Amino acid sequence: MQFKIISSTIIAIVAVLLLFTIVRMYSTESTTPMTCKLHKNVIRHIPLPGYANQPLPDGCSEDPIEERIEIKEMTNRELSHYIVKCWDKAKQGMYGKKLECYELYAKKVTEPIDESTVTATFNSEQCVILPNNWLDIEKLSYSCGTENKIIWKMTETIDDKTTLIIKYNPLAHWVEVI
């Protein structure tokens, strides 16, 4: 009889803790790596009907995927925006896998675009987050941070109907524009 009471009490405590963890997981301010792992590895594998399955909580993310985007009018600011977004997808250089962030198709280019003009659109905050102090094609130093985290592998100028690939290199911890 005592064994039954003790085992029932332990089961009840575990159930309450699991319920508390699940409720806490869906509170946006309390999402932690532990709750993300619990959701990805346990909760998502409980056989529930489709309407009862919950998406990942805010703050948890799946592995980033490549996006193909058609841009009607490519500008320096637009391209710099996608370079910074790739750096953000790569967790500011801490993502441990190769990541092809964007394939951009420029239908129309409205201004000359190269590494120096794109880097010139960065503000001081972006230069701290994603520095680019060396222009690869021009082989010149540049006053945007203290490191070279944007590698420009395009030798030709960007013109109408150009496809650009922006990817993250985890070995070197930089963004490549190809």
Average pLDDT over residues 20-38: 65
pLDDT number for residue 13: 86
Interatomic CA distance for residues 141 and 71, integer angstroms = 30
- pLDDT band of 16, cuts 50, 70, 90: confident
The pLDDT assigned to 96 comes to: 86
Q: What's the confidence (pLDDT) of residue 159?
A: 82
Tell me the domain boundaries of the chain: 2-52, 67-177
- Please report, in angstroms and rounded to a whole number, the separation of the first and last CA atoms in the chain: 72
CA nearest 157: which of 67, 66, 74, 71? 74
Radius of gyration of the chain (CA): 23
Average confidence (pLDDT) over 152-174: 89
Q: Mean pLDDT across the stretch 112-119? A: 90
Nearest alpha-carbon partner for 26 in 62, 65, 60, 73:
60
Average pLDDT of span 153-177: 90
Q: Which of 73, 155, 82, 76 has the alpha carbon at shortest distance from 119?
A: 76
- Is a pLDDT exceeding 70 seen at residue 154? yes
* Residue 165 pLDDT class (50, 70, 90 cuts): very high
Among left, alpha and beta (phi > 0; psi -120 to 50; other), residue 173 is left
Q: For residue 89, which phi and psi values (nearest 5 degrees)?
A: -60, -35
- pLDDT value for 170: 92
Instruction: Quote the pLDDT of residue 51.
Output: 58
Whole-number Cα distances in Å, 44 to 35, 47, 52: 12, 8, 10
